[in-house]
Amino acid sequence: MEVLLKALSSIFLLALLLSSLEAQKSQTADEADGGPSPVIETRDGGVSEARQSTYIAPIANAPFTAIVHMEWTRPMVEGSSSALVNQRRVARDSRGRIYQERGPLVPKNGSAESRNNVIEIADPNTHTLYICNMLRTPHRCILETFNETGETKFDPALGPPGPLPNNMGFRKHEDLGTRTIEGIETHGTLDTTTYKVGVMGSYQQFSARREFWHSEKLGINLYSELTGRGVGKQTFTLTDVSLSEPDKSLFELPEGFAVEDRRESAADLPQ
């Protein structure tokens, strides 16, 4: 996450610099021709967000395919709320390779349809991650390093229960027992973190809740729900789960796509 935020910051700063240079160039050209200086529209505020979805570990000998449904409900300033949704196909084969589709969120019950415009193919054996944008031209797949391995054990992240550092609040866990989802046994956990008044500039106590139902067999959450200040409510539900071996063609690069290698040197790759 830290690497992603740094990358987003770098992209933002680069875009800002290029916009400034372009504005300077236009102004110089206009003034040289005796024409009027250009008008540049500016605005303050805004926010950049990095959205995270269902995590899929590169576990070998646990193949599946499924559809991930996301719904994000956020409170609005005037007291109402807005809901965004999307759905995407995911798969993992017996070698631990992962196929995922990516696409934008669209308004729930709206006329717009979310189009999955990016596919990702990750291989823990070759440490390769291909990110292919299906809409941009020229068609190409970005090749990056995939650092995870199939031997790693992946458990849902849980902070220790009890008081938080610096007397900020406290955290507790609740065992929700077992539940069958899509014919697969899952184990549920509710993780609640309560923050005291003054934390993050709050005027009252508030809590963040994370509920998830984890399949030990597949190593993924078949259902998860996150609620909290600034987040609203996010739910991730897996449907159409099949435990059969996925179609091999999912792990092949799209035909006619060039590859742009952005990996580091071989000496820096996982061994």
DSSP state of 154: -
Cα distances (angstroms) measured from residue 55 to each of 41, 66, 155, 169: 40, 13, 11, 28
- Residues 39-48 have a mean pLDDT of 52
Between 77 and 241, the more confident residue is 241
Rounded distance, CA 231 to CA 193, Å? 14
42: tokens are: 């500016």
pLDDT of res. 120: 97
Share of the chain above pLDDT 70, in %: 76
Residue 17 has pLDDT above 70, yes or no: no
Rounded distance, CA 24 to CA 205, Å? 48
Q: How many CB atoms lie within 10 A of CB 121?
A: 21
Contact criterion met (CB below 8 Å) for 116 and 106: no
Q: How many CB atoms lie within 10 A of CB 122?
A: 23
Rounded distance, CA 151 to CA 130, Å? 21
- Residues 76-87 have a mean pLDDT of 86
- Region class of 237: left (phi > 0), else alpha (psi between -120 and 50), else beta: beta
Residue 88 has pLDDT above 80, yes or no: yes
- Residues 56-80 have a mean pLDDT of 91
Q: How would residue 139 be classed by pLDDT, with cut points 50, 70 and 90?
A: very high
Residue 150 has pLDDT above 80, yes or no: no
Q: How would residue 43 be classed by pLDDT, with cut points 50, 70 and 90?
A: low
- Kindly report which listed range (8-12, 127-131, 201-205) carries the lowest average pLDDT score: 8-12
pLDDT of res. 100: 97
The one-letter code for the residue type at 189 is T
pLDDT of res. 20: 42
What does the pLDDT look like over 199-217, one tens digit per residue?
A: 888 888 999 999 999 999 9
Q: Would you say the pTM of this structure is higher than 0.85?
A: no
